């Protein structure tokens, strides 16, 4: 076993004195600040009790220990790996002292090389050729991989070539050194990752060792590398970049970009769209002012060679139930900020004025060639976002989120899911069997799905109705982005576009659509959109129906699958809870639900009497469980009775509209889901079936209209 691994093992076994003879190990084990690429961890909460840098160094050494390389290579690389991450170590006092003496703690490969050099000089004076070689390998460690990711220009690796040019190594020896070194560095992140890049890393090292420089990047080459992970998740890079080119001159805007080194760019920006990514990049590359701590001072951007997104990376994640989560609250606000900013503003300013959010560009006095980019929220916005995170499972959540929307001017129905949006869309995709009934009533070729969610209905149409050209429309940019990525990855042919269901004629030519589908979406429009100053407004349903009717061809259809209320509305029902906390859930629901007053009479500790529609409205949310409660309590699933629905259709679309189908039924699965949780009874206490929960309406536009 390597001597370095022996020392780490002793530390792991509780021998606190084992680190003292090893300056590199003292630095790593004494770290008080967890400096780590958040892209590589799953839980931020665990950082307080862990040392991820020491863990990573140990993994690199274990890989080295297992490799079949010659003794001199193993000995040399052991020393490199021992020191390669030391700039991430040290106590707070150590780090302050290092920084004040000129050690670059923000660019960790440079800082680690500086710490190694100081250690050699403190212990032996002038560096030997061997130590100079170690110093160069520390200084450049990881840069081959970062070049492949698009973060580092090839020229940053040229100090390695000097080892050959100065006669310290032959080209073959440099290759034999760099391949196992990069295996250790990349493999310690993921052996799977190493296998995926091994061929490209090897080819690049051979070019480097022989002095054959690769072709210089175009800005498109580099952007494609920087977006590799996003492209793998379905981003249509070529189409989106082409759209951006039509709006701004990227050749001019990205001048100098090819020679700049980027740090933490993927970890900070991988969850943003290409357009958002590009706007951030231009804001960073074209600052009106750069800030040196507290004094403003205009600085020539051409003097910048390093652009770091580390502050943004550190600000974009939080711990949710033991898992590292993207701070989607901040992300949505940043998306809105960037959406309001055109390309000219990104290049020339001034930035959109928002008292609660701005982008910040910083320079450190000790690092004149480095710029740090992040977004800065006001104290009020920071506190409100913290409140949203804390309130994620409480009835305060809706109030907190609505305050956040008001602060940034966001529409409520565009952002109705936050910390569980991905799982919510997956849940929506699991409802395909319930939605198949809709396929029987589709007419014509052009079919519009309003609020497609995870795309399950679009998939069903593509698979089972090959003559149909389906497309979806949604107000949420995030839903559209997720659907576009899935479409690309799964080779779907349906289309999606961002738009407002209440103003369809602005996105779709009137009279051009054969079928418009509202599948479990009208109740969301009714619940979330304010009309005439308040939500839960019948006028919202009327606006949605009229909007759809406008874009229909004569003979076209509107298909509605949604919640329904029971008639007569004065029917009373009793609920006996089988779960100990069932009544508590009803009390909480009655307090939190804003659609209408939920009226009930408590008959016993576990039993209540209430109107049938209040009973069903509560049970819709009760069925979903605790995780979904804070979202489901905001929605009113049953908003019309059958007669009220017909009245609304006639009032909005006129007597000429033909109601081809008017059905209502109990959604399959409700009774089974509630069987062990409640007993549903009539007023005499006799068990009865649950009433119908779901309606299906097919409305046809006359062929002569």
Strand bridging mode 513-519 / 552-563: parallel
* Biggest alpha carbon–alpha carbon distance for the chain: 98
Measured CA to CA, the distance from residue 183 to residue 194 in angstroms comes to: 6
CA atoms within 13 A on the CB side of 227: 23
pLDDT the model gives residue 289: 46
pTM for this one? 0.75
**CA-based R_g, the chain, Å:** 31
Helix (H, G, I), strand (E, B), or coil: what is residue 213? Answer: coil
Residue 238 to residue 101: CA distance in whole angstroms: 46
DSSP state of 464: H
Q: Rounded to an integer, what distance in angstroms lies between the CA atom of residue 112 and that of residue 103?
A: 8
Q: What is the dihedral of CA 307, 311, 313, 319, to 10 degrees?
A: 170
CA distance 75 to 608: 76
At 271 the pLDDT is: 86
Check the CA dihedral 340-345-350-356 and report its sign.
positive
| H or E segment and range at residue 460 | helix 456-464
CA angle centred on 420, ends 416 and 423, rounded to 5° = 110
- Residue 118 CA to residue 114 CA, distance in Å, equals 6
- Give average pLDDT by consecutive 10-residue segment, the chain, 705 residues: 90 85 89 56 50 90 96 95 94 90 90 95 86 96 92 92 93 96 95 94 94 87 92 90 95 86 90 93 76 44 80 81 76 88 87 81 84 92 85 70 73 49 45 79 97 92 95 88 88 94 95 96 92 92 97 97 96 96 94 93 96 96 82 90 97 96 91 94 96 96 82
Report whether 470 contacts 517 (CB < 8 A).
Answer: no
132 in Cβ contact with 160 (< 8 Å): no
What's the gap between Cα 17 and its chain centre?
44
Give the SS3 label for residue 663: strand
**CB-based contacts of 431: which residues, under 8 Å, 6+ apart?**
456, 520
Residue 80 CB coordination number (10 Å): 25
The pLDDT score that the predictor gives to residue 320 is 64
Are 63 and 183 a contacting pair, CB within 8 Å?
yes
Taking the C-alpha atoms of residue 419 and residue 320, their distance in angstroms, rounded to an integer, is 9
Phi then psi for 555, rounded to 5 degrees? 90, -5
Report the DSSP pairing between strands 290-292 and 357-364.
parallel
Asked if 237 and 227 count as a contact pair (C-beta separation under 8 A), the reply is yes
Q: What pLDDT score was predicted for residue 321?
A: 63
pLDDT of residue 296: 45
Exposed / middle / buried, residue 465 (Cβ in 10 Å: 0-12, 13-18, 19+): middle
């Amino acid at each position: 076993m390597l001597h370095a691994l022996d020392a780490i093992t002793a530390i792991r076994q509780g021998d606190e004195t084992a680190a003292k003879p090893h300056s590199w190990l003292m630095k790593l084990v004494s770290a008080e600040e967890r400096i780590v690429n958040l892209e590589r961890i799953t839980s931020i909460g665990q950082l307080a009790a862990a040392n991820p840098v020491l863990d990573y160094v140990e993994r690199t050494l274990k890989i080295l220990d297992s490799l079949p390389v010659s003794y001199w290579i193993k000995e040399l690389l052991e020393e490199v790996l021992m020191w390669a991450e030391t700039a991430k170590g040290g106590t707070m006092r150590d780090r302050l002292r290092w920084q004040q003496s000129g050690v670059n703690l923000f660019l960790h490969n440079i800082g680690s090389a500086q710490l190694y050099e100081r250690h050699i000089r403190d212990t032996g004076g002038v560096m030997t050729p061997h130590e100079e070689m170690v110093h160069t390998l520390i200084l450049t460690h990881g840069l081959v991989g970062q070049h492949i990711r698009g973060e580092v220009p090839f020229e940053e690796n040229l100090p390695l070539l000097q080892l050959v040019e100065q006669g310290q190594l032959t080209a073959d020896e440099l290759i034999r050194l760099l391949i196992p070194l990069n295996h250790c560095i990349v493999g310690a992140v993921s052996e799977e990752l190493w296998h995926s890049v091994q061929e490209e890393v090897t080819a690049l090292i051979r070019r480097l060792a022989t002095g054959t420089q690769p072709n210089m990047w175009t800005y498109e080459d580099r952007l494609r590398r920087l977006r590799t992970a996003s492209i793998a998740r379905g981003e249509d890079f070529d189409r989106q970049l082409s759209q951006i080119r039509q709006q701004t001159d990227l050749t001019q805007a990205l001048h100098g970009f090819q020679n700049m080194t980027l740090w933490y760019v993927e970890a900070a920006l991988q969850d943003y769209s290409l357009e958002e990514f590009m706007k951030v990049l231009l804001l960073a590359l074209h600052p009106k002012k750069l800030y040196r701590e507290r004094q403003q001072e205009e600085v020539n951007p051409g003097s910048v060679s390093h652009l770091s997104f580390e502050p943004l990376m550190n600000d974009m994640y939080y711990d949710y139930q033991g898992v590292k989560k993207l701070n989607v609250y901040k992300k949505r606000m940043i998306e809105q900020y960037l959406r309001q900013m055109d390309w000219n503003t990104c290049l020339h300013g001034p930035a959109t004025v928002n008292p609660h959010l701005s982008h910040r560009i910083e320079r450190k006095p000790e690092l004149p060639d480095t710029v740090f980019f992040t977004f800065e929220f006001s104290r009020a916005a920071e506190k409100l976002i913290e409140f949203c995170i804390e309130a994620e499972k409480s009835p305060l959540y809706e109030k907190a989120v609505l305050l956040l929307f008001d602060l940034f001017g966001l529409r409520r129905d565009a952002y109705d899911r936050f910390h569980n949006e991905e799982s919510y869309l997956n849940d929506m995709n699991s409802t395909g069997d319930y939605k198949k009934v809709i396929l029987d009533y589709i007419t014509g070729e052009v079919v519009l799905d309003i609020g497609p969610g995870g795309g399950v209905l679009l998939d069903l149409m593509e698979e089972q109705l090959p003559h149909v050209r389906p497309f979806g429309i949604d107000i949420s940019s995030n839903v559209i982005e997720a659907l576009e990525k899935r479409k690309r990855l799964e080779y779907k042919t349906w289309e999606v576009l961002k738009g407002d269901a209440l103003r369809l004629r602005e996105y779709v030519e009137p009279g051009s659509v054969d079928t418009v589908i509202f599948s479990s979406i009208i109740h969301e429009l009714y619940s979330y959109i304010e009309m005439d100053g308040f939500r839960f407004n019948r006028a919202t349903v009327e606006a949605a129906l009229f909007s759809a009717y406008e874009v229909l061809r004569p003979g076209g259809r509107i298909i509605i699958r949604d919640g329904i209320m029971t008639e007569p509305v004065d029917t009373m029902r009793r609920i006996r809870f089988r779960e100990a906390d069932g009544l508590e859930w009803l009390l909480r629901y009655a307090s939190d639900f804003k659609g209408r007053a939920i009226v009930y009479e408590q008959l016993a500790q576990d039993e209540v009497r209430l109107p049938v529609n209040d009973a069903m409205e509560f049970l819709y949310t009760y069925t979903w469980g605790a995780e979904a409660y804070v979202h489901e309590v905001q929605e009113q699933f049953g908003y019309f009775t059958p007669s009220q629905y017909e009245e609304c259709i006639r009032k909005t679309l006129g007597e000429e509209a033909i109601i081809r189908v008017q059905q209502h039924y109990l959604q399959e699965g409700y009774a089974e889901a509630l069987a062990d949780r409640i007993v549903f009874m009539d007023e005499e206490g006799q068990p009865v079936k649950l009433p119908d929960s779901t309606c299906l309406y097919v409305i046809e536009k006359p062929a002569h209209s």
